[in-house]
Amino acid sequence: MMTGIERDRIMEQGPRRRGVFKDVKEGFIGWNPIVHIAEESMNTPYYLRPHPFLTAEWREEQREILRLRDKLLISLCFLTGGRISEVLMLKPENFSVEEEWIFVQGMPLLKRYEIHRIEVDRIHEIPSVEIAKDYRWQPDDGAFVKYETSTEAQVVERQDFPIPRWEPLTDFVVERLKSAESDWIFPTSGNPQRLEKPGVEAWKAKFGLESRAWISPQRCWQIVTRISERAGVTKNLGEKMLGIWDHWFRSMRANQLVRDYRFNDPMLDRFFGWVNRDDESRMSRRYTSTSTYELEDQMRLNKSRFDRNLKKDLGG
């Protein structure tokens, strides 16, 4: 059996690269495992051991705070279907609550880049085989041109999208949003100075931050993996490690939207902010779009289907 030290060593290595597309093929696992993982968050043994300098009352208070944080993290990972860093950068002001809906507005959308291309050389004779791969033929100029390209992360917001309040975990999310005491939903108590990925760095600049104000994605991976293993929702993560990872919720949300509400491709693109660059030139993509109201209508239209599936998932 793996020791606690071995487990911590593997956890500290951070998340292994996992793709969303493998899990898409497996279909939605059902609401019961999702809810069970969220509920298991309330059993994490934070500060259980007595401490000479920390009172029992303080430890109990902090234990409750961290458990509620973890449950909210798992709930929002699934309900928003966001990438983990996008979820971690959420603020209470990104949510608007109505009777039937939670609207998510201005959620950060990562992996958006602007490509810059600068000409560095051009020749008019046919290049040798060795360097031909570095040059592009420009027929208008009658020349072979070499470019240097660079990418710049862009600050892009995900379009508004609805979360139906009839779905499990939404009442808990609304309750936690109302009781939020920080500008950030998942604040960090430290002052991390490490350089983040370019997209996150761009958002830090937009927020006017010199350091990350939210907990790290590496810490979230640890949280999600440990809780899911205790809940019995596991996959083989390698090196005797079981559990699931935060991005797994994204694929499960996509599958759930298809199963319960019959979302089609344009609706999924609109909900998640997905861009299929191969389809950008298609006329249907140029002149049509899916609105927030259409997502609401599709969800409301299929609510009875959702209710049947939920009842089946929960064993009713």
Could you give the C-alpha distances from 47 to 73, 174, 177, 214, 229, in angstroms and in order? 19, 27, 25, 21, 20
Phi and psi at residue 156, to the nearest 5°: -125, 135
Quick one: 212 and 133 in the same domain? Answer: no
Q: What is the dihedral of CA 141, 142, 146, 150, to 10 degrees?
A: 30
Q: How many domains does the chain have?
A: 2
* Residue 245 and residue 128 share a domain: no
156 within a domain of the structure (yes/no) = no
In this structure, is the dihedral angle defined by the CA atoms of residues 148, 154, 160 and 165, taken in order, positive or negative? Answer: positive
Same domain, residue pair 143 and 267:
no
Within a domain: 157:
no
Residues 209 and 76 in one domain: yes
> Per-residue pLDDT for the chain (316 aa), expressed as one digit of tens each?
334 433 333 333 443 444 444 444 578 999 999 999 999 999 999 999 888 899 999 999 999 999 999 999 999 999 999 999 999 999 999 999 999 999 999 999 998 767 778 888 888 888 888 888 888 888 888 899 888 887 777 899 999 999 999 999 999 999 999 999 889 999 998 888 888 889 999 999 999 999 999 999 999 999 999 999 999 998 876 666 677 887 899 999 999 999 999 999 999 999 999 876 555 545 445 445 689 999 999 999 999 999 999 999 998 6
Tell me, yes or no, whether 158 lies in a domain.
Answer: no
Burial of 240 (0-12, 13-18, 19+ CB in 10 A): exposed
Which residues form the domain of 228?
4-106+163-313
Same domain for 143 and 168: no
Give the separation between CA 54 and CA 103, rounded to whole angstroms.
40
Amino acid found at 154: Q
In a domain, 66, yes or no: yes
